Amino acid sequence: MTTFHLAVELTPAGLHPAAWRLPAEDAARAFTARHWLDRAHAAERVGASIVFVDDSSAPPVERPGRFVGSLDAVGVAALLGPTTSGIGLAPVVPVTYREPFHVGKEIQTLDHVSLGRGAVQVAVATSAVEPRSGTEALRYDERVPRELPALWREADDTIEVLERLWDSWEDDAIILDAEGDRYIDRAKVHAIEFTGEFFSVHGASITPRSPQGRPVVVIRGDDPHELAVASRRADVIRVRTPEAAAAVRAVVPDTVTVLLDVDVLVAPTDRVAAERRAALDAFEPWSWDGVVVGGPVTVATELTALADLADGVTVRPVAGDAALLEGLLPLVAKHSTLRETLGLPRPTSRYAATR
């Protein structure tokens, strides 16, 4: 790929659990629309191709002095749709305890309200080996948490259903024939009729085909179970390490965008960045392995050095917002849909192809 993509993960305060305690932060705004709008607009100004909004159904880890609480990622992304103009919007959706029909409708709606910039990062619940899994499962009336292979088999089925639902209306299904008293051509709306290991879904979506045809699907590729699904299903694969990026690139086609997560603490100067790191450590010690710390020039140098390892980076601010990233990377070309930004073709409905 010729374009090095910049993505930004939007957070309430930052990755550091004490980021909200820095004097420059206004923690009271973390659950306001203005907070998320400001951060998305900052990411758009720096030329980001896509922003991610994290989410989880797992119970939070509560400790004194830590930030606790989150908003619904799909709701935040939908808020950003009409108020941004060129950036992709990717909420993280844990699909384990969600009905695929409802997920499909939510993400189609996001694609409509953003005029073709919708995406979804498919995630799963905590697996049975993790301490919080039992509590999370009980929240959804499931007494025995599932093992990781089962979680990802279900996610694979979910993505199959999502794509079928997104294809169920052909592009020209809406005909607006007032004289003939027909809003849609029923022959161009198709029942998907899916039966799998975990659920059955019948009928068509109730949402017309979205501007991109299918919203962009993002999956992590660090774990073998994730990668097995991502290599078949994903348009974008996120990884946490350069080693994972190399492993993913070796097994997926060039049409798939591989994004490497990079945790960043950026400040106006290297000295100010070091002072902020010290202030955060004074609140709570934290592992800084792999974190890029510095002023704009230092951080830009570190990020651009990664161009040979992946198709882009996902900047995850340790503290502060994306406004401080301005000028780090040249602006990427803006297009009318996220698929065009990522160099992906607009898919044809599978049902139109066989009708």
pLDDT single digits (tens) 61-104 = 777 778 888 899 999 999 999 999 999 999 999 999 999 999 99
- Quote the domain boundaries for residue 223: 5-354
Instruction: Report the CATH number that the domain containing residue 194 is assigned in CATH.
Output: 3.20.20.30
Residue 139 CB contacts under 8 Å (≥ 6 apart), including other chains: 57, 59, 97
Structure tokens, 199 = 């659920």
pLDDT digits (tens, 9 = 90+) for 172-188: 999 998 888 999 999 99
Return the closest-CA partner of residue 169 out of 204, 119, 215, 118: 204
Name the domain count of the chain.
1
pLDDT digits (tens, 9 = 90+) for 202-250: 999 999 999 999 999 999 999 999 999 999 999 999 999 999 999 999 9
Element (H, E) at 150: helix 148-167
Is pTM beyond 0.85 here? yes
Cα distance between residue 111 and residue 23, in whole Å: 37
Cα distance between residue 106 and residue 352, in whole Å: 23
